[in-house]
C-alpha cells in the first residue's frame, strides 16, 4: 500500500510540475508579446515625432504646388535671332483673380487702355506685366492690320516670329456653341467682340509677347486666340488705326500698315481685386 501511495504522490507531483511549467511558459509569452507591442508603439511614436519635426505633416508643399501657376518654356534665342531675352516672369505668387490695367500710347493717338483678366488668363497677365517692366514693347511697331479685323502688336522684330526667349500655353480660348453646319451658331455672340484683346502665336499655343486688339467683331468656326482682356477706353483710336491703308508685308499678304503704327509706351498697373464688367466673351481654358 505504501508503495502505491508513493507512486500516486509522484504522479500528482509530476502533473503539478507540468501545469506550473505550462503556466510559466504562457506567462513568458504574454510578457514577450507585451514587450514587443510596447517597443513597436515606442518606435512608431519616434518615427511620427521625427516626421513631424521635419515638417512631413505641414501643408506647405501643397500650397507651393498650388502657387506654381505658370510654366515658362525656354526658347532658343540663338536659333531665332528675332527673339529678345529679357528673363522670365515669376512662377509663384502670381495673382489669379481681379484685373490689371494695360495702357498703350501710340503715335496714332491714345492712350488705349485695357483690362487684363487675371482670373481667366493669369499667365498672359504676368507675362505682359513682366515685359512691360522691361520696356520690351516701347518703340515697337504694330506690324499687321489683320484680315480678321485686328491690330497685331508686340513683336519687336516686326517679323511675326519675334518675342521673348520663353513661351507659355493657351489659357482662355473661346469655345463656340455646337452647330450642325460647322459654322458659328446663329444668334450667338461673336467669339471675339470688338475691343477684345487676345494673344497670337506662331505656332498656336506657344504664346510670347504678340497680341491682337480687335477693332471689329470676329466669329470664326474654330477660335484659336486666347482671350486675355478687353479695351476699356480708346477703342476709337484702334478703329482709326484699323482703317489705315495696308501694303504687302513682303510675303504676299497685304496686311502691313502703310503708315507706321508705333507703340511709344506700354505700361501695366498693379493687380486690382474689384473687377469691373468688361463684356469679354465667355471662354473655356484649354491647354496648349
Provide the pairing of β-strand 227-233 with 109-117.
antiparallel
For 46-77, how does the pLDDT look when each residue is reduced to its tens digit (9 = 90+)? 555 555 555 555 544 333 333 568 999 999 98
The Cα 123–Cα 71 span in angstroms is 8
pLDDT at 253: 92
Residue 275 pLDDT: 43
Q: Which tens digits make up the pLDDT trace of 102-126?
A: 999 999 987 999 999 999 999 999 9
Query: What's the grid cell of residue 13?
Result: 507531483
Placement of cell 507651393 in the chain: 64
281 pLDDT tier (thresholds 50, 70, 90) = very low
What does pTM read for this prediction? Answer: 0.71
Would you list the DSSP string of the chain?
Answer: -HHHHHHHHHHHHHHHHHHHHHHHHHHHHHHHHHHHHHHHHHHHHHHHHHHHHTTTT-SHHHHHHHH-----EE--TTT-TTEE------SSS---SSEEEEEEEETTEEEEEEEEETTT-HHHHHHHHHHHHTT-STTEE--EE-TTSEEEE--TTSSSS-EESEEB----B--PPP-TTSSPPTTPPPSB-TTEEEE--SSTT-B-S-EEEESS-B--SS--SPEEEEEEE-HHHHHHHHTS-EEE-SSS-EEEESS--EEEEEEE---BSSPPP--PPP-B----
- Alpha-carbon distance 58 to 36, whole Å? 31
pLDDT at residue 40 above 70? no
pLDDT in tens, 134-180: 999 999 999 999 999 999 999 999 999 999 999 999 999 998 766 66
Per-residue model confidence (pLDDT) at position 85: 95
Q: What is the rounded (10 degree) CA torsion for 270, 271, 276, 277? A: 120
In the chain, domain spans: 1-58, 71-268
Convert the pLDDT of each residue in 236-276 to its tens digit. 999 999 999 999 999 999 999 999 999 999 999 999 975 44
- What cell was used for 269? 498697373
pLDDT given for residue 197 in this prediction: 98
Looking at the predicted structure, is the pLDDT value of residue 35 above 70?
no
Class of domain 71-268: mainly beta
**For position 285, what pLDDT does the model report?**
36
* Residue pLDDT, tens place only, 168-216: 999 999 987 666 666 666 678 899 999 999 999 988 889 999 999 999 9
Q: For residue 10, what pLDDT band results from cuts at 50, 70 and 90?
A: low
Q: What is the pLDDT of residue 15?
A: 61
DSSP characters over 133-177: HTT-STTEE--EE-TTSEEEE--TTSSSS-EESEEB----B--PP
Distances (CA, A) of 204 to 8, 19, 48, 100, 235: 103, 87, 50, 24, 26
Share of the chain above pLDDT 90, in %: 60
Residue 223: pLDDT band (50, 70, 90) is very high
Amino acid at each position: 500500500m505504501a508503495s502505491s501511495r508513493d507512486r500516486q504522490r509522484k504522479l500528482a507531483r509530476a502533473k503539478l510540475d507540468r501545469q506550473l511549467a505550462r503556466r510559466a511558459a504562457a506567462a513568458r509569452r504574454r510578457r514577450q508579446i507585451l514587450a514587443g507591442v510596447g517597443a513597436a508603439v515606442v518606435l512608431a511614436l519616434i518615427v511620427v515625432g521625427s516626421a513631424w519635426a521635419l515638417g512631413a505633416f505641414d501643408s506647405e508643399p501643397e500650397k507651393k504646388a498650388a502657387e506654381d501657376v505658370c510654366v515658362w518654356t525656354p526658347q532658343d534665342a540663338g536659333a531665332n535671332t528675332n527673339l529678345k531675352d529679357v528673363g522670365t516672369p515669376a512662377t509663384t505668387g502670381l495673382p489669379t483673380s481681379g484685373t490689371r490695367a494695360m495702357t498703350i500710347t501710340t503715335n496714332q493717338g491714345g492712350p488705349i487702355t485695357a483690362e487684363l483678366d487675371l482670373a481667366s488668363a493669369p499667365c498672359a497677365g504676368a507675362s505682359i506685366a513682366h515685359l512691360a517692366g522691361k520696356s520690351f514693347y516701347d518703340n515697337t511697331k504694330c506690324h499687321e492690320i489683320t484680315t480678321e479685323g485686328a491690330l497685331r502688336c508686340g513683336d519687336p522684330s516686326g517679323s511675326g516670329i519675334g518675342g521673348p526667349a520663353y513661351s507659355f500655353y493657351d489659357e482662355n480660348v473661346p469655345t463656340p456653341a455646337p452647330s450642325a453646319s460647322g459654322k458659328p451658331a446663329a444668334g450667338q455672340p461673336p467669339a471675339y467682340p470688338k475691343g477684345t484683346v487676345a494673344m497670337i502665336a506662331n505656332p498656336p499655343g506657344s504664346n510670347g509677347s504678340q497680341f491682337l486688339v480687335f477693332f471689329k467683331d470676329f466669329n470664326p468656326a474654330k477660335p484659336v486666340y486666347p482671350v486675355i482682356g478687353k479695351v476699356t477706353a480708346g477703342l476709337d483710336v484702334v478703329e482709326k488705326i484699323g482703317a489705315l491703308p495696308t501694303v504687302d508685308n513682303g510675303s504676299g499678304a497685304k496686311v502691313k500698315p502703310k503708315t507706321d503704327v508705333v507703340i511709344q509706351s506700354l505700361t501695366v498697373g498693379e493687380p486690382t481685386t474689384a473687377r469691373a464688367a468688361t463684356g469679354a466673351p465667355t471662354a473655356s481654358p484649354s491647354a496648349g
